[in-house]
Amino acid sequence: MPTISMFFGIIIQMFVKDDRRHHLPHIHVRYAGSNAAVGIELGEVLAGELPAKQLRLVQAWLLIHQEELMADWVLAVEGEQPFKIDPLR
pLDDT in tens, 28-83: 999 999 999 999 999 999 999 999 999 999 999 999 999 999 999 999 988 899 99
What pLDDT is stored for residue 12 in this prediction? 98
What pLDDT is stored for residue 68 in this prediction? 98
Res. 7 pLDDT band, cuts 50 70 90: very high
Q: Which residues of 37-50 are buried (b: 16+ CB within 10 A; e: fewer)?
A: bbebeebebbeeeb
Residues 31 and 80: their CA atoms lie apart, in Å, by 25
More confident residue, 22 or 28: 28
Prediction pTM value: 0.91
As a whole number, mean pLDDT of residues 2-23 equals 86
